[in-house]
A and B are shown apart, each in its own frame.
Chain A
């Protein structure tokens, strides 16, 4: 009886200890943010939109936190683009390509949508921790 109580108590303590260790690790890693050592070259992407769809095979733009990102958009007709989260909106015209330029300061996966009669996702931007 005492043994059984000790055993189940042990499991409980194991769980608690594991939980504490992992949460400690999480806090450390969550706040751990190395300063951007040098200003690197911007990450450039050239994307072409044909009839509200992306031409080419690229499905995801992958960058790291702290990167300077430049997306060069061109389109065969007027298209309104919206990068969610970073909340950048830009309108591309057939004769006027546009550059979306920003520093990827927040990690996550962000949809880039065309906002017209209907909203449809063109591509995702993924910002990974360094």
Chain B
């Protein structure tokens, strides 16, 4: 316990490189014309869907959910995926602990924050939740279980998991992860990343041993839960329990659910959606003005600490505000029980967040992601040249600003259409036609607001508050 506390303390006090050190280039703010085009299209399509949507056949929900094509994944591919996942985690931890401690000379920061956290979330959202195949913690646990087979049938103690706990541990861990990503000062320092991964590995394996792997992955392994959430949007569904399977379905229909999410998963979803937005809000001039107003621009001792406190406050408040607005919209549907309906409709907001996430992070992935090319040759920053790519210089002109503007508007509008469509399809599946239509007015207001907020953030120049 003392070691953990000491490590956490070190993590908090260690001053790393400047904030946003991973960003070499920011996107230009969305020009007014693009902003208006996106906003207008979002409002217009909302009414088009509203006018055209008349699906009141409940069986169609099941038809949409039925997979179109499916198959088993060959055993050796599954083993390869697990080996790659495990090896990469080991490499990142070793590089973080023993390698060069400068952010761009060590593979850990780029591999974790750019490739894993951003890149993998895109893969999960637009292709399929590959995390179930490459999850290094389950891979290692399965291997350990196999090796221990002669002595013990089952490595996990299978304690009774308290039902009331639900996915709340995942919520807490996601908040911690988001705090580490967005607020913690030493987040770009390789050693901090490695230590955080080691702590998290210990926690995860302890959870597997106490409650069983499936249960822990469903409720507390935060990467499984968040990639699972994004994976509902994807056209390919991967299942990793027992024999591994894939199945094909139309995109986004995974967000339609017959059974409502339980309150803890509803909260988790709202937390993810809120955090995605807060991430962008923290870079707007409006936020910088608030911070400078509250802290003052003159350099002072404790300015960094109070800035962190403010960011933490925003990180907590953002999702709470979204949750309050969402629950209000659900309550305004005039049907009960509200908790059940909240679990039924929350997934319809996910496409808006995925679209914003894509618009916000696409260029970062394309440009900062290139650092993985030289780093693959020299993961520890020792001056190796394993693949002959060590001298690769990243191309900051790879994605043009105009391309990003079109991509942003197209993504936001498409995400909005899908969100409205999912909301309607769900409403027509759970209510009768008249109620379904009426129930979607408050949701539509919320969705338009959420989409406008995303567009507004994209139209802001990215700044950092001038306090240090």
Query: Which residues in A have some Cβ–Cβ distance to B below 8 Å?
Result: 1, 3-5, 7-8, 10-12, 14-15, 18-19, 22-23, 25-26, 29-30, 32-33, 60, 84-87, 105-111, 113, 118-121, 124, 126-129
Contacts and interface: CB of A to CB of B under 8 A. Distances in A.
Nearest to A87: B24
B26 interface: yes
Interface string B38-74: 0000000000110011111100100000000000000
Contacts of B432: none
B57 A4 contact: yes
Interface of B: 17-18, 20, 23-29, 48-49, 52-57, 60, 250, 363, 395-397, 399-403, 406-407, 409-410, 413-414, 417-418, 421, 461-464, 466, 468
Contacts of A85: 24-25, 396
17 contacts: A5-B55, A7-B54, A15-B414, A18-B413, A26-B410, A29-B406, A87-B24, A108-B27, A109-B25, A110-B26, A111-B20, A113-B18, A118-B468, A124-B26, A124-B463, A126-B28, A129-B402
For the complex of A and B, 9 pairs with smallest distance between CB atoms: A106-B397, A30-B403, A119-B18, A107-B401, A22-B410, A26-B406, A109-B26, A85-B25, A108-B25
Contacts of A111: 20, 26, 464
A18 B400 CA distance: 22
A86 B410 contact: no
Given A120-B468, A128-B28, A7 B53 contact: yes
A11 B402 contact: no
Chain B binding surface SS class: loop
Contact of A107 (B20, B28, B421, B466): B28
Given A120-B18, A121-B463, 6 more contacts: A8-B52, A30-B402, A60-B461, A108-B28, A109-B461, A119-B18
B402 A29 contact: yes
Nearest to A60: B461
Given A1-B57, A15-B414, A84-B24, A119 B407 contact: no
B417 A15 contact: yes
A39 B298 CA distance: 43
Contacts of B401: 107-108, 127-129
Contacts of B421: 11, 15
B111 to A, nearest CB: 21
Nearest to B461: A109
Given A26-B406, A60-B461, A129-B401, A10 B52 contact: yes
Max chain B Cβ within 10 angstroms of own Cβ: one of A12, A30, A60, A86: A30
A107 B399 CA distance: 8
A110 B449 CA distance: 30
Contacts of B417: 11, 15
A29 B406 CA distance: 9
A112 to B, nearest CB: 12
Residue with the greatest number of chain A CB neighbours at <10 A, chosen from B56, B409, B414: B414
A61 B324 CA distance: 41
A65 to B, nearest CB: 8
A60 B28 CA distance: 12
A76 B27 CA distance: 32
